[in-house]
Amino acid sequence: PLAAAYLPHCVPAGRTARVAHNSRPVVMDEGYDDTFAQAPSPAYAAPGLSPCTIKVIGVGGGGGNTINRMVQEGPGVERSTFLEYVACNTDIQALSASAADATIQLGKNQARGLGAGGVPAVGRASAIDAAAEIEELVQGVDMIFVTAGMGGGTGSGAAPVVAELAKQAGCLTVGIVTKPFLFEGRRRMTQALEAIEELQQHVDILIVVSNDKLLEIVPEGVPLQEAFSLADEILRQGITGISDIVVKPGLINVDFADVRSVMANAGPALMGIGRGFGKTRARDAALAAVSSPLLDFPIEKAKGVVFTITGTSDMSLQEVNDVATVISSIVSNDANIIFGTSVDESYGDEIAVTVVATSFEVPDEAPAPPAI
């Protein structure tokens, strides 16, 4: 039945309009209308289907900001039913103001609720101190996102510990973090790079967003606070771009097993985001995503690609096909491609495409910035 295509699930639900594993060209199942039907509530699960469980864990101040933005931007049944947002921090004031579903205070003995003081060793010790709570949190979860702003004490020190515990519990573990602006100083950048290297060892894929890349996106003269907020928004879009194709109702949903096949132990990953409007919105969004400034390595080299198409219920299957055709024509012929769609009526005339490219070698980090 058509309803099966809308159910977030961890096992196949019969033949649905999903595309995976080297589908070229993209061909939709017969019998589907050219516009999106009304999706049933994702709270419903057919007998024998077990909904996937996904938790987004924000570590430190930057991770907590991303959690707050996700809660503000994405309320709804899919959040309460399938997604749980968790904030982990050494700063008890930040936790008290968090919009997360659950919070964990790290380092009750080490940090005593006052933060890590910008020292990653304190953040790491604090996470180890809370290991029992973290292990309980990740037990039995299908997918864990660990998000943080790297360079500070809690995010840099604690995020690798959280990820390691999630991976040990058998969760598909996705790290998505930011690298600081160069103007934030050499010490902060060094701490960030060391933490990213450590985190890479404990996740299936790691997406690193360089804040300096955002300078190529934001208009000149944007206030500093808005620039940092944009970094939070990029992390939010990266997380939802992956989770929505499994959790959120849409005409095309994919099995969790398909997502795992692309992401498991895939290593470094890159992300591109594009938007389009008007008659050519689908193609424009796809081209913008694959040429995004956030992609600092050719997407053609990727062996695994996951992308999400988001639009209103009037988005047509032809537009979905346009996006898929653009992306599949660019990536390697033997790339494993998984994609899905998400319906969000707030998008109006806009279509958004989020692309995550995996399974290739990322060039070595650029030389360290000069002393300031």
The per-residue pLDDT for range 304-353, each reduced to its tens digit, is: 999 999 999 999 999 999 999 999 999 888 899 988 888 888 899 999 99
pLDDT band at 363 (very low <50, low <70, confident <90, very high): low
**What mean pLDDT is predicted for residues 258-280?**
91
Instruction: Say whether pLDDT at 255 is over 90.
Output: no
Instruction: Say whether pLDDT at 78 is over 60.
Output: no
**What mean pLDDT is predicted for residues 17-26?**
37
Between 31-45, 142-156, 187-201, the lowest mean confidence (pLDDT) is in: 31-45
Between 49-58, 70-79, 240-249, 289-298, the lowest mean confidence (pLDDT) is in: 70-79
Per the model's pLDDT, the better-predicted residue between 52 and 123 turns out to be 123
Phi, psi of 175 (to 5 degrees): -95, 135
Helical ranges in the chain per DSSP H:
60-73, 77-82, 92-96, 120-129, 131-138, 154-168, 186-200, 224-247, 256-263, 281-290, 317-330
Which is nearest to 145 in space by CA: 254, 229, 271? Answer: 271
* Per-residue tokens: 299: 């997407």
pLDDT band at 40 (very low <50, low <70, confident <90, very high): very low
Average model confidence (pLDDT) across the chain: 81
Compute the distance between CA of residue 57 and CA of residue 145 in angstroms, rounded to an integer: 6
Q: Work out the end-to-end distance of the chain between its first and last CA atoms, rounded to an integer number of angstroms.
A: 62
Per the model's pLDDT, the better-predicted residue between 301 and 44 turns out to be 301
The pTM (predicted TM-score) of the whole model is: 0.81
- Tell me how far CA of residue 366 lies from CA of 130, 193, 210, in angstroms: 35, 11, 12
pLDDT band at 361 (very low <50, low <70, confident <90, very high): low
Pair 323, 275: CB distance under 8 Å: no
Please state, for a pLDDT cut of 90, what percent of the chain lies above it: 52
* Per-position DSSP letters for 235-264, written without gaps between them: HHHHHHHHHHHHHS--SS---HHHHHHHHT
| Lateral strand order in the sheet of 54-59 | 19-20, 336-343, 304-311, 350-358, 267-277, 205-210, 172-179, 143-149, 54-59, 83-89, 102-105
Q: 65 CB contacts (<8 Å, ≥6 apart)?
A: 58, 149, 232
Compute the distance between CA of residue 296 and CA of residue 346 in angstroms, rounded to an integer: 30
pLDDT at 27: 39
The per-residue pLDDT for range 163-176, each reduced to its tens digit, is: 999 999 999 999 99
pLDDT at 359: 84
pLDDT band at 251 (very low <50, low <70, confident <90, very high): low
How is residue 282 annotated by DSSP? H
Phi, psi of 322 (to 5 degrees): -60, -45
pLDDT at 250: 64
The per-residue pLDDT for range 200-247, each reduced to its tens digit, is: 999 999 999 998 888 777 778 888 788 778 888 888 888 988 888 777
pLDDT at 306: 92
Compute the distance between CA of residue 180 and CA of residue 160 in angstroms, rounded to an integer: 17
Instruction: Say whether pLDDT at 5 is over 70.
Output: no
- Structural domains in the chain, sorted by start: 54-243 (3.40.50.1440), 268-361 (3.30.1330.20)
Compute the distance between CA of residue 35 and CA of residue 25 in angstroms, rounded to an integer: 20
